[in-house]
Amino acid sequence: MAKMRSLLFCHEIKAKYIKKIKSRTFHFLLKKDRLKAEASWIQMDPEATKEYAMKQKRQRTENRWAKRILQCGLNSQDEGTRTTIAEQLQRHTELTRKMHSMNDSSSSSDDISDEDDGENC
């Protein structure tokens, strides 16, 4: 149990260190590795890759459109635009809530492991 805890701790330290790195060469190598992984993914299933790219492009254009509409003002728009903006805002809040809940659950598991350390001593 202690060995697993120490491995997890080392992994967390390494993740923090990697997150802190700001060098150009590191980011270049990271991007190169990511592109290799994507290339292998494309070769395995090109149809799914095209579908994923289209989905990403559509989401980006929807976000840009919504941002433009919100900057111009929502009062002058028709009802259809209002509903689509409301849907997008709701989707955004759901995703942020999900992201925060994932962060909270990981921090709560850290708290639990800290409490376990106190019991063993």
Using one digit for the tens of pLDDT, what is the confidence trace for 7-64? 889 999 988 888 888 788 888 988 999 989 888 888 888 888 888 889 989 989 888 8
User: Whole-angstrom Cα distance, residue 112 to residue 3?
Assistant: 16
Based on the domain organization, do 28 and 51 belong to the same domain?
Answer: no
For all residues of the chain together, what is the average pLDDT?
Answer: 79
User: Whole-angstrom Cα distance, residue 4 to residue 20?
Assistant: 24
Asked whether the CA dihedral 93, 105, 37, 10 is positive or negative, the reply is positive
**Token match 């919504």: residue?**
66
Based on the domain organization, do 33 and 81 belong to the same domain?
Answer: no
Q: What does the longest C-alpha to C-alpha distance in the chain come to?
A: 65
- Domain range for residue 87? 45-121
Based on the domain organization, do 49 and 64 belong to the same domain?
Answer: yes
User: Whole-angstrom Cα distance, residue 121 to residue 30?
Assistant: 41
Based on the domain organization, do 34 and 91 belong to the same domain?
Answer: no
Based on the domain organization, do 78 and 51 belong to the same domain?
Answer: yes
Check: pTM over 0.85? Answer yes or no: no
Based on the domain organization, do 19 and 58 belong to the same domain?
Answer: no
Stated length of the chain = 121
